[in-house]
Amino acid sequence: MRYSRLLGKTTRDYPRSVRTAGNALLQRGGFIRPLSQGLYSFLPLGLRVVSRLTELIRREMRALDGQEVLLPLVNPLELWQRSGRAALAADDLVGFRDASGRDMVLAPTHEEAMVALVKSVVTSYRQLPVFLFQFQTKYRNEARPRGGLLRTREFVMSDGYSFHRSATELNNFLPRVFAAYERIFAACRIPVITAEAAVGMMRGERSFEFLMPSEVGDDRVIRCECCGYAANAEVAVGTLNRPTGEPRPLTTVPSHGAVTMGELTSELGCGKEALTKTMVYSNGDELVLAVVRGDQEVSGEKLERVLATPGLRLADRDELALYGLDARAIGPLDLPLDLLELDVRVRIVVDDVVASTPNLVVSSSESGIHFVDVNFGRDFESDLVHDISRVLPGARCANCAHELVQQRVVELGNVFKLGDYYSRKLRLTLSDSRGRRFYPQTGAYGIGIGRLLASIAESNHDRRGLDWPPGLAPYPILLMGIGHSAKVASLLEALHDELGDTFLYDDRRESISTKFRDADLMGIPMRLIVSPRTLEEGKAEILERGSTSVRSVSVANVRAVVAELTGGSS
RNA sequence: CGGGCUGUAGCGCAGGGGCUAGCGCGCUCGGUUCGGGACCGAGAGGUCGGCGGUUCAAAUCCGCCCAGCCCGACCA
């Protein structure tokens, strides 16, 4: 490929609208270009890297007996209503009405469509297990795309779905995908930590994430540097120091308008760990009052798990007003009577730390006063006691008591153990060997390709530019000449004609230093340099990116050396 | 969805009521160069994000809107 003909030039200046190093380099190098918020175009160089990534993943998926398919981007809304996710994923879904008046959505993920496909094609348990994968566009109506390619509205995902005869079979398959994913990220030279994660709108039973530590990430992982425990902050568990003491009699004190935890600590002269806060969650049908210690936060994921109620959201001011509640004065000891008379289910969930800590401060539903020396069990009850708080820095590891740390990460991929959630919802059943109907056990697996590209750039660059891992560079070799001698030019042209697309041929009339700079910026790993000086001795040179020592090769051997360096392929 | 920042040439920026809106890079043409972003000369390129207002006069002041980015909330 002649560089002069390649679409997408390198630029010297950093684009103003990009803040992360990797994304800036991808734009400066001519790999990607933004179209609009959360929407990116891939230029030829970028698409070539994407092709190498998909090929890498495809090889791994095939090694797991995966079969590649391609499902529609557009799904009937009805399918999503049947799975129960139309409401759960409402914020992500973008839809339209088609020519015949049916409501359609752009798929933010493909579990529904994949189950529908399997339902129509798999007719016997003997066909299981089946593992299907695709590279397909997702569209999610992200509230806030950010970090260039790290978080977009539209993106291509490598997603896989497996269907099994039994939970055991699924359990045995998951680690194989897990290992394949680890190999993929290793090939991308991205350091990953694996962690237990939230299931969120994906539902199902369990989930694991592959995370790249990075300050530009917008997920947070909780880790123990002692025993290696790692989990997404939403689901991580840890232990807290709990004050002890004999229960004292319940009293009330005026709080003089103090509402926030900070105000209360100064008003009452105690620490946040002596306080409690009551957060009201709702899913439209029922209210959940979640009580955690004043220095803690409610984990929405844990709350949904313990209640087995997806779709819970923190109630906003208007919704609270609807139930006669005021966010500044809510407590489980004296809920307003009219709330109890309303035709709405109200459940109270108390964090286990609160339940086992004596003499806490609890807000009253009557504004202006707080209860002091509240003791769970004696002064109030709840429907459930469970760990529902997020692990915050300072908590200790449940395994080894070492202090837990929080780290920002980019979520590169995940593995979901879905169980029979979708099989049941979408009525995918088969007969087993004894003729009994059963719901196949399913797993889902995904890697965001654009995010992977951005993460590789983030993890593999230096001051000069990108530095692609072996096999992922858009071109393995950049061919360039020095000077304008006819002999050099004719050799370059001959090599280009012969080896064509194997390398990028910088045929511009630019100074050699410009060519070097651009090669560094684009991250081409090797240069093949032809100059009058070396050509006199019948030699050309090979210079690796980041190295200053050249390898001299005779012109007669160039083709063989190129074949060796590129592993016989481009 | 809340808060903040920014919109002036393809990119990065300066200008901040008054004559023809500039600079660097890039681009075009001609010439000299070529071992880590060379140089000379000549040129092209702008609804100053949009709409409205104030004014004799608006890129500049005011209002509204739009777009992009950043922080947060939310979310695989």
Beta partners for residue A251, in sequence order: A372
Tell me, what's the pLDDT at A263?
Answer: 84
Report how far residue A133's alpha carbon sits from residue A18's, in angstroms, rounded to the nearest whole number: 33
Q: Give me the DSSP letters along A477-489.
A: EEEEE-S--HHHH
A310 prior amide bond cis, ω within 30: no
Complex ipTM value: 0.95
- Chain A, 234-273: which CBs lie within 7 Å of strand B? none
* A20 Cβ nearer than 7 Å to chain B strand: yes
Query: Tokens 């100059």 label which residue?
Result: A531
* Residue A291 CB-density burial (10 A; 0-12 exposed, 13-18 middle, 19+ buried): buried
Report how far residue A337's alpha carbon sits from residue A357's, in angstroms, rounded to the nearest whole number: 27
CA of A24 to C1' of B51 (A): 34
Q: Do A312 and A269 form a contact (C-beta atoms < 8 A)?
A: no
- Positions of chain B reached by protein Cβ under 7 A: 1-2, 6, 10-13, 24-27, 33-38, 67-76
Go through chain A and tell me how many residues it has.
570
Beta partners for residue A417, in sequence order: A206, A443
Nearest residue to nucleotide B5, by CA–C1' distance, is A17
Tell me, what's the pLDDT at A67?
Answer: 98
Strands A384-386 and A345-351: parallel
- Break chain A into its structural domains and give their ranges: 27-236+406-458, 251-386, 475-565
Domain A475-565 bears CATH identifier 3.40.50.800:
yes
Report how far residue A198's alpha carbon sits from residue A206's, in angstroms, rounded to the nearest whole number: 7
Tell me, what's the pLDDT at A568?
Answer: 54
* A200 Cβ nearer than 7 Å to chain B strand: yes
In sequence order, the 6+-apart residues with CB closer than 8 A to the CB of A210 are A181, A182, A185, A192, A193, A194, A411, A412, A413, A414, A447
- Which tokens sit at A559? 């083709």
CA of A398 to C1' of B7 (A): 51
A27-236+406-458: CATH number:
3.30.930.10
Q: Is the dihedral of CA A60, A62, A63, A65 positive or negative?
A: positive
* A411 Cβ nearer than 7 Å to chain B strand: yes
Q: What residues in chain A have per-residue pLDDT under 70?
A: 568-570
CA of A15 to C1' of B15 (A): 21
- Chain A, 323-382: which CBs lie within 7 Å of strand B? none
- CATH assignment of A251-386, among 3.30.300.10, 3.40.50.920, 1.20.1250.20, 3.90.960.10: 3.90.960.10
Tell me, what's the pLDDT at A365?
Answer: 86
- Chain A, 422-451: which CBs lie within 7 Å of strand B? 446, 448, 451
Tell me, what's the pLDDT at A570?
Answer: 46
CA A163 → CA A79, A117, A135, A361, distances in Å?
Answer: 19, 12, 18, 51
Q: Of all nucleotides in the shown strands, which has a C1' nearest the CA of A37?
A: B68
- Chain A, 465-504: which CBs lie within 7 Å of strand B? 482-484
Q: Do A42 and A79 form a contact (C-beta atoms < 8 A)?
A: no
Beta partners for residue A230, in sequence order: A223
Beta strands in A197-243 (DSSP E): 206-213, 219-224, 230-232, 238-239
| Fold match between domain A251-386 and domain A475-565 | no
